Amino acid sequence: MDQADSRSLPSGRPPGPQDPTGRDALRRRRVVDFALRRRDVLAQLREGRLSLREVCDADVYLLRAAGFHGVPTETACPVCRKENLAEVSWIFGDDLGSASGSARGADEIQQLALAHDAFTVHVVEVCRSCSWNFLVESYEVGLPEGTGRRTRRAARALRHRG
C-alpha cells in the first residue's frame, strides 16, 4: 500500500485479521441507482401526470438535514432551477441502535461502518427552495453480520486497560 492509500483510511482499531485495513467494511455493496426512476418521475411531471405537490414534498426534517449534513452538488434543481441540489445520506440498520434512521456525513458513515454490522445508506437529493427530493442511490456498508458487536467490545476492553 502506498502512502496516499494509508492516509485516506480512517484511523482506529482495524476490524480484524482477515481485513486489517478495514477496506471491506467501507466497500459499497448492493448498490441500487434510481436514475431511471428519477427520469420517469420528471417526465411525468413535465407531461402533467404528476403535480408539483406530489414531487416537491420534502418535510422539515429533510430540509434541515440538507442544510446541516447535505453535500452540495453541481446539479441544479430539475424542478425550479433556483439552486443546486444537496445530497443527504440517511442510515438504517439494526446494529446502529439510536443512530439508525438519522442523517450522517461521509466521515461519520465511515466510522460507523468500521464498528457496526452491515447497514444501508440511502442518498437523497434535496432542493431547499422548492422541496424537491428524490432517492438517488442506496447501498450497504459495514462489517459482516455479527462482527460489529465483537469489534466494539474489544475496543472497549482496550480502552479500559490503557
Per-residue pLDDT of the chain (162 residues; tens, 9 = 90+): 444 443 344 444 444 545 544 567 788 899 999 999 999 999 999 999 999 999 999 999 999 999 999 999 999 999 999 999 999 999 999 989 999 999 999 999 999 998 888 999 999 999 999 999 999 999 999 887 766 666 656 655 555 665
Residue 136 within any structural domain of the chain: yes
Q: Domain count for the chain, please give it.
A: 1
Give bridge partners of residue 84 from the DSSP assignment.
Answer: 76
What amino acid is encoded at 24 in this protein?
D
Residue 159 phi/psi, 5-degree rounding, is: -65, -40
Nearest by Cα to 117 from 149, 77, 86: 149
* Residue 81 maps to a domain: yes
Query: Residue 154 falls within a domain, yes or no?
Result: yes
Domain that holds residue 125: 29-161
Residue 56 lies in a domain: yes
Q: pTM (2 decimals)? A: 0.78
Is 141 within the bounds of a domain?
Answer: yes
Cβ(109)–Cβ(93) below 8 Å: no
Residue 17 resides in a domain: no
2, part of any domain = no
Sign for the CA dihedral angle at 40, 46, 51, 52 comes to: positive
For residue 82, is it within any domain? yes
